[in-house]
Amino acid sequence: MASSSYPPPLRTRFIRKVFSLAVLAALFVHLPLPVYGAESPTTAIKVDQVGYPVDGPKVALVGSPGKIFQLKCSSDGAVVFSANLTAPQGDANTGDQVQAADFSSFRTPGTYYIEIPGVGRSWNFTLGGNVYERTYYMAMRGFYGQRCGTAVDMGPEFPGFSHPACHLHGEFHASSGARGERDNVGGWHDAGDYGRYMVNSGISTGTLLWAWEIYGPKLKDIQLKIPETGNGTPDILNEARWNLEWMLKMQDVDGGVWHKQTSEGFSGFIAPQDDKLTSEVIGTGSAPYKSTCATADLAAVAAIAARVYKPFDAKFAARNLEAARSAWAWAKKNTSVTFRNPPGVSTGEYGDRNCSDERLWAAAELARTTGESAFSDYFLQNYAQFLPILDSPPAEGWSQVAPMALWTYALSNPKGADPKAVEAIRRRTVTAAQAVAARTRANAYRTSMRASDYVWGSNGVAAGYGMYLLIANVFSPDASFTDTARDNLHYLLGRNTFSLSWVTQVGENPFQHPHHRPSGATGKAWPGLLSGGPNAGRQDAVLAALPKDLPPAKVYADQLASYASNEICINWQAALVFLLAGELK
């Protein structure tokens, strides 16, 4: 530290000594170095550790009693704004009494922190124009870090985060109906494990392609420093293609798609290149071996890809359309072949029992891409039964893609579309979004989360609310929708009961111990990854050992062993990217 320019010049020996103690303490507990003053930030003050758009609502939340708050400049500690905290409001989901520090009327860009006499100071945050661009970059590069079958290097910005090529060899599992080698190199590791799963790839890759379709002008110039950067294709599409190419390889010659490619059981907490378990293409165990959900998911995503990649690589787009058509034909013949782990296989199941929503999504995306009436006819004959799902945001998830089906139809309004169907989808989405916005305003923590939302992957639910609100905003632009979406982003980036940023290496107090094999093997958290978040289901031993009376939003442990609350996963990562893309300027 002595040779660095840190800390800034301070006036007395006493302050210098206190400051160096703080630096020392910060090193030991992995806290960021304080920019000004000796005091460590307190978890009692909850801010979005990335920041707030300078022209929007700006609220910090406080979990310890206070009266007034001050907004201070990080560089010199000068008070730039001060006001009263609101009266305490009880929050049943956390058990906290919460006060709000509203500094919306302060509009000078810069880096600040909140200080409350008797409580302490917050972590630093930025007020600016496009405050989430760096976080978007980090979250998208989170996908790059998940790449399988290639050497990965996060670059000089993140030294030590690299690995040689992994999982280069694959075989057909006995359950696949085929035998011999099937390498299928590529794709993203799904989560904290090294498996690759079609169904979860479907929603994840589809969500990224949608982010491009809706927010392309904001995303097209953001470079992700990935191997393809500069090839003339926007980087979000380059990264999505990495997984899409693997998805295409999972399609059999008859059009059907195998459900997953994993080892029979999970590997230990080792680096990807050290995982020598055979990577196997796993099927349903009996004819037709491929599953309907996986096949229809490929049909939907490849149909999106067929229109999205057309301006950049017409040949690739055509390959996707062909794959989508043959997958559709297979799923039409095999309408409900569901998947269960065959004997001896214990990796993630993604065992969806109902594939009718996947087929609806495939039909809607194919209708949007081709304009052919066969697809829109199927959609119109089947969509009505799915409409009520829109009344319960966030509604979509890896096993429930009906909202994607309904939305893509209403977004594209294809030739010959039924205006009644389009209107019903739009109206229900906007009405539900208005209810979510009202509920979020009334919530002490300003999140859309209800007690029942604190499930496995609850942070994906929070991001999913954001996505829902942003889709509603496309149908019917309304600042309360984008503001409420951003409230859920604030929750993920530190404005929560733990004062934790749930994205690794983002913000000054990010979570540290993801259930993620590369992080476990490296000994530190790989950058840009979203934690699963609080989970009242307590399906692991760490959560089971927490006090029995913890409110749902507090059932979380920043521990590697807590796979039920602290794993990372591409589907909630994709929802985060969509939310960030929507909040970019």
Which residue's CB atom is positioned nearest to Zn ion? 148
- Angle, CA 147 vertex, CA 262 and CA 173 arms, to 5°: 15
Shorter beta-carbon distance to Zn ion: residue 167 or 173: 167
Burial label, 520 (beta-carbon count in 10 A; 0-12, 13-18, 19+)? buried
Read off φ and ψ for residue 110, nearest 5 degrees. Answer: 160, -170
Shorter beta-carbon distance to Zn ion: residue 167 or 290: 167
Task: Report how far residue 193's alpha carbon sits from residue 568's, in angstroms, rounded to the nearest whole number.
Answer: 9
3-state secondary structure of 192: coil
CA-based nearest residue to 367, from 382, 388, 353: 382
Contact set with Zn ion (CB under 5 A): 148, 166-167, 272
**From 352, 515, 516, 540, the catalytic residue:** 515
235 as an active site residue: the answer is: no
Q: Which residue has the tokens 């008797």?
A: 118
**From 235, 352, 558, 583, the catalytic residue:** 558
Q: Are 236 and 224 in contact (CB under 8 A)?
A: yes
**How far apart are CB 191 and Zn ion at their closest, in Å?**
12
Shorter beta-carbon distance to Zn ion: residue 41 or 187: 187
DSSP state of 385: G
**How far apart are CB 483 and Zn ion at their closest, in Å?**
40
280 as an active site residue: the answer is: no
Shorter beta-carbon distance to Zn ion: residue 146 or 175: 146
Shorter beta-carbon distance to Zn ion: residue 246 or 475: 246
Shorter beta-carbon distance to Zn ion: residue 120 or 145: 145
CA-based nearest residue to 361, from 312, 413, 295: 295
**How far apart are CB 262 and Zn ion at their closest, in Å?**
10
91 as an active site residue: the answer is: no
**From 96, 133, 171, 193, the catalytic residue:** 193
**From 358, 540, 567, 583, the catalytic residue:** 567
Q: Which residues pair with 280 in a beta bridge?
A: 171, 262
567 as an active site residue: the answer is: yes
3-state secondary structure of 358: helix
CA-based nearest residue to 113, from 102, 100, 99, 126: 126
Q: Which residues pair with 96 in a beta bridge?
A: 91
**How far apart are CB 148 and Zn ion at their closest, in Å?**
3
Burial label, 314 (beta-carbon count in 10 A; 0-12, 13-18, 19+)? exposed
**Catalytic site positions:** 193, 515, 558, 567
